[in-house]
Structure 1
Amino acid sequence: MLYMALILLTLSGVLTQDRWSVKYPDKPICAVRGFSVSIPCSYSYPQNHQVEQKLWCSMNSNTDVCLNPPYVYNSLSNTKSDFEFTGDDKSDCTLLIHNVQFSYSGEYRFRFITNVTNGRFTGKPGVTLQGTDLKVSLIRLSGNGTLKQGDSLNLRCDVNCTHTSSQFVWSKNNQPLNTSGPVLHFPAVTVRDSGKYTCTWKTGETSGSETISLHVKDLTDDDPEIPENTENPELWSIWVIVCVTAGAIVVVSVIIGAVIHNRRSVHTEQQKKDDSATESNVQKNEDDSAIYSNVQQQEEDSAIYANV
């Protein structure tokens, strides 16, 4: 009996080594948009074969079960893309996808060709990739308007993809926090809670992160309130610049108006003085003319008298 068992185990090992196969993960793989994801893969073939070509295809664009192009990866092509083969010619067929997009979602299959006639194989069905977004949202539990000391809130990390082995890691200003799970709870925030919070979602194949900013207003602070949209603090800076610029324009306009008015007043006053002087000169000329006429008349009268 023991001898028979050894024979069966030996035959089983031989059959396993000579079997054509491609193994993928059993469940769909989630990937966060904009990040990288690794698709684990292994393959086997008869020992007397050597792998000459390795191919990955997306069933979104390949309709003939990966027998012909197009391929997202071809070991005989030097074209660079977001799809990178990180396996080998022996048994590892892992595919690394960079900068995941929603359009990358779908089924992927691995195909390899050996040096033996008809020595080729495609693993089907393939593995499914699901692209998703990672979002961090602020949920107010108490208070409204500008975030103030004593307000209660939650930071929630959401990913639209189910994965049993995923985990959530939180950090503040790039410093890890001693907490886990998709929700970060603040029963009563303080000024010290202000900062940038990052949620990182991790699985065995991928990871992704998203950041949100918190600004807690000090109740003793008399500075103008910052708009509640803490995710875009640059909007507040733009608003301040616009207000300052508008105020400067108004001040400059007032100064220019005052200068113009003053110059007009001076010009008007000078014109009045010039008109007055002209009028005085005219009057003086008229007076001189009258005096000259009187003198002339007197001289004529004197001459007439002398003749008489």
Structure 2
Amino acid sequence: MNSNTDFCYKPPYVYNSSSNTKSDFEFTGDDKSDCTLLIHNVQFSYSGEYKFRFITNVDRFTGKPGVTLQVTDLKVSLIRLSGNGTLKQGDSLNLRCDVNCTHTSSQFVWSKNNQPLNTSGPVLHFPALTVRDSGKYTCTWETNVTSGSETISLHVEGDDPDNPEHWSIWVIVLVITGVIVVLVIIGAVIHNRRSVHTEQQKKGDSAMDFNVQKNEDDSATYSNVQKNEDDSAIYSNTQQQEEDSAIYANV
């Protein structure tokens, strides 16, 4: 890599078996037929042409052509077309899948919450956002030799009738309303029973007053009858005395 000659005579080397220096480049092959190179923590600076060279006591060999490594940066950008601040219903925007290289066989695949979308191309257009557009969008970039993906989240503010949270709020409201209605009904029943009990108590008191009054009237009548009987007895005794006196006078 970065050699001035095709045969890699001069350093730098990304890996050298005679060196014990540790780096992101690891030789995982053997000394016979496997010359695999493993690259950890890939960086943009690792882009370039890689060649394999071995040296023996009798010969030297450099593999040509080498292997070209192109490190790309894949990211999803949000481009606001209308509105500002938090995303709201009616705002418009684009999601753009960006790579810093081009390839004739490049293909872009979009998905929402891991579900494929029926669209293609590096741009996903939203002419008028709704709450249902909230979710995680993933752009997958593919070629005939490599692929990569990047995810971005959208949250659109507003009420969604299909949102479980929306339904849970309405359920809470209905439960509270139902409890209030039940309490009102129970209060009305208790009040009605108390009214009936009070009315019955008043009727009972009236009947008792009537009985007392009746007993008083009966007592008065009995007293008058007794008095009349006493007066009749007195009058009878007086009459008899008068008759006796008359008889005595005649004698």
Change (3 A) 1:62 1:149: same
Work out the CA distance in 2 between the residues paired with 1:110 and 1:132. 23
| TM-score scaled by length of structure 1 | 0.42
Task: Indicate if the aligned counterparts of 1:198 and 1:212 stay in contact, CA closer than 8 A.
Answer: yes
Task: Indicate if the aligned counterparts of 2:91 and 2:129 stay in contact, CA closer than 8 A.
Answer: yes
Identify the residue that residue 160 of structure 2 maps to in structure 1: 223
Task: Indicate if the aligned counterparts of 1:143 and 1:152 stay in contact, CA closer than 8 A.
Answer: yes
Change (3 A) 1:259 1:87: farther
The structure number with the bigger radius of gyration is: 2
Q: Please state how far the C-alpha of 1:65 moved relative to its aligned partner.
A: 4.1
Change (3 A) 1:144 1:122: same
Q: Please state how far the C-alpha of 1:160 moved relative to its aligned partner.
A: 1.0
Q: Please state how far the C-alpha of 1:245 moved relative to its aligned partner.
A: 32
Structure showing the higher strand proportion among its residues: 1
Q: Please state how far the C-alpha of 1:159 moved relative to its aligned partner.
A: 0.4
Q: Please state how far the C-alpha of 1:112 moved relative to its aligned partner.
A: 3.2
Q: Which runs of 5+ in 1 are unaligned?
A: 1-58, 217-221, 225-230
Change (3 A) 1:134 1:263: farther
**RMSD between aligned residues:** 14.3
Q: Which runs of 5+ in 2 are unaligned?
A: 204-216
Task: Indicate if the aligned counterparts of 2:132 and 2:160 stay in contact, CA closer than 8 A.
Answer: no
Change (3 A) 1:259 1:152: same
Task: Indicate if the aligned counterparts of 1:170 and 1:176 stay in contact, CA closer than 8 A.
Answer: yes
Task: Indicate if the aligned counterparts of 1:62 and 1:69 stay in contact, CA closer than 8 A.
Answer: no
Q: Please state how far the C-alpha of 1:214 moved relative to its aligned partner.
A: 1.0
Identify the residue that residue 241 of structure 1 maps to in structure 2: 172
Deviations 1:62-109 (A, max 9, x none): 879423554323467676543345777787756443322122123322
Task: Indicate if the aligned counterparts of 2:131 and 2:160 stay in contact, CA closer than 8 A.
Answer: no
Change (3 A) 1:194 1:125: same
Deviations 1:180-233 (A, max 9, x none): 3211122322111112222222334433322222111xxxxx999xxxxxx999
Change (3 A) 1:200 1:305: farther
Change (3 A) 1:179 1:246: same
Change (3 A) 1:184 1:276: farther
Work out the CA distance in 2 between the residues paired with 1:281 and 1:200. 119
Change (3 A) 1:175 1:69: same
Q: Please state how far the C-alpha of 1:163 moved relative to its aligned partner.
A: 1.4
After TM superposition, the structure 1 stretch with the greater mean CA deviation from structure 2, 257-266 or 72-81, is 257-266
Deviations 1:163-194 (A, max 9, x none): 12222222323344343321112232211111
